[in-house]
Chains A and B, each alone.
Chain A
Amino acid sequence: DVKVTQSSRYLVKRTGEKVFLECVQDMDHENMFWYRQDPGLGLRLIYFSYDVKMKEKGDIPEGYSVSREKKERFSLILESASTNQTSMYLCASSLIVYRGTYEQYFGPGTRLTVT
């Protein structure tokens, strides 16, 4: 079974702190994604990566950056956390299109609160 793990289930940070959210997948997937989930807004894509050291902006990249130094690990970085970044953050991974039907596998989520 595909397994996607996230470093924390719950996180509380102060405004202005630098925050790292880590995601690891164990199925040799090329693609990895970071979403945030907010009530009434559904899932919104922040960034995704289709290969090591490659990244592309999603729909709401402002205030975030990412890092992918190894294929299995994708990190989301909040350079200076703000209260409007309080949210549920979901990581996902998938095979690249030509290797499969492209369903995404999700981690359990990190609920981040910025005070």
Chain B
Amino acid sequence: GDSVTQMEGPVTLSEEAFLTINCTYTATGYPSLFWYVQYPGEGLQLLLKATKADDKGSNKGFEATYRKETTSFHLEKGSVQVSDSAVYFCALRGNNRLAFGKGNQVVVIP
């Protein structure tokens, strides 16, 4: 079935560092792909999305490109801030539902 795999473990980095979170997927067809963010004590918010191959989603300085050839949708940000500390989830649209990865905790140190 449809599934999403995110890199293992939390990510700790310094302010202004470059952030990458890997996401790969398994699905039939060409699903829409999403990144959600969860700030402490809150529900999930949509961060960005891409609906077809080679689309680039972007928001708040974050970017991700839908790569069909590598079945990937890696999240990147060039210069992180302390306020970017959160949990990030990759997801794909399957059969009338979303399949989520397990999430990555990102901690940005001043």
Contacts of B98 in A (CB 8 A): 102, 104
A48, A107, A109: the one contacting B97 at CB < 8 Å is A48
| B101, chain A: closest CB distance, angstroms | 6
Contacts of B44 in A (CB 8 A): 43, 90, 92, 104, 106
Chain B residues at the A interface, C-beta cutoff of 8 Å: 32, 34, 36, 41-46, 49, 51, 89, 93, 96-98, 100-103
| B97, chain A: closest CB distance, angstroms | 6
CB within 8 Å for A108 and B51 given contacts A43-B89, A103-B34? no
Q: Is the CB of B46 within 8 A of A108?
A: no
Tell me the nearest residue of chain B to A103, going by C-beta.
B46
A33 in the interface (beta carbon within 8 A): yes
A31 in the interface (beta carbon within 8 A): yes
Question: Can you show 20 pairs from A to B with CB atoms below 8 A apart?
Answer: A41-B102, A42-B89, A42-B100, A43-B44, A43-B89, A43-B100, A45-B97, A48-B96, A90-B43, A90-B44, A92-B43, A102-B98, A103-B34, A103-B49, A104-B98, A105-B46, A106-B36, A108-B41, A109-B42, A109-B43
